[in-house]
Amino acid sequence: MKRLFLPIGILALAAVSASAQFAPRRSSVSASGDASVSVKPDHLKLNAGVTTTAPTAQEASDQNAAQVTLVINALKRVVGTAGELRTVGYSVTPNYRYPQGGGTPTLTGYTANNTVEVTTGDLSLGGKLIDSAVQAGATNIQGLRFALKDSEPARVEALRLATMQAKRHAEAIATGLSARLGYVIAAAEGGAVRTVNLDTRALAAAGGATPTPVETGMVDVYATVTLEIELIP
């Protein structure tokens, strides 16, 4: 009779595998927490645009360039060395008139759009930037935003507070189940930064002899944390 001998390593592996299959699944609890931290913003961004319409694309583009140059120069005079400007959008598109009863549309001209973004760390310049842009010929003011250059410190604090809340929730659940918490099995984070966005359409419309008032407000940094923690009977 032949005898079959298996290496000790294979036998040990088989034993571990078998025990793992029959090992009871540990109970756990999942709980979430959220928190927000309000921080004073340290810079602002403003988009100022110029829209021009002309019979030809070249005319629309030339008129737009001349008008945008005036707006850029006006914004530069306001921010000086305390800010920077960049172009964030440019387009030249044809305009058509469509017959009511259908048929071939007629080309009526071209529209040029150019939008520049100004960024500065001087938060007191918001109203002055709006007024200067409008007076220089800007046809639309968009996206006045107060934000943070570095939101990481506020986010770390919000995550800490959210984690503490998630743990309190887990402890409350464990107490209701007549159990106690063990080690943390998993943790996941989420969150967002909410900048202060103002209705620049109303602000631009108000721009005139009277300086446009702008309130800075606070930036809210949100964080959520979900914990999965072992439950011990």
Positive or negative, the Cα torsion across 162, 165, 171, 175? negative
Total-model pTM? 0.68
Asked whether the beta carbons of 67 and 137 are under 8 A apart, the reply is: yes
pLDDT tens digits along 65-110: 999 999 999 999 999 888 999 999 999 999 999 988 878 899 999 9
What does the alpha-carbon distance between residue 42 and residue 101 come to, in Å, rounded to a whole number? 56
Q: How many residues does the chain have?
A: 233
**Which CATH number is correct for 26-41+150-233, 3.30.1360.120, 3.30.930.10, 3.40.190.10, 3.30.110.170?**
3.30.110.170
> What's the rounded Cα separation, in Å, for the pair 40 and 43?
10
Check whether 174 has a pLDDT greater than 90. Answer: yes
Q: What integer pLDDT is reported at residue 66 of this predicted model?
A: 96
Domain with CATH 3.30.110.170 in the chain: 26-41+150-233
User: Considering the chain, what is the average pLDDT of its residues?
Assistant: 85
The CATH code that applies to domain 43-147 is 3.30.70.2970
Of the candidates 89, 46, 84, which has an alpha carbon nearest to the alpha carbon of residue 64? 89
Q: What confidence category does residue 198 fall into, taking pLDDT thresholds of 50, 70 and 90? A: low
Residues of the chain with CATH 3.30.70.2970: 43-147
Residue 225 has phi, psi (to 5 degrees) of -135, 135
How many whole angstroms separate alpha carbon 34 and alpha carbon 36?
7
Q: What is the DSSP letter of 178?
A: T
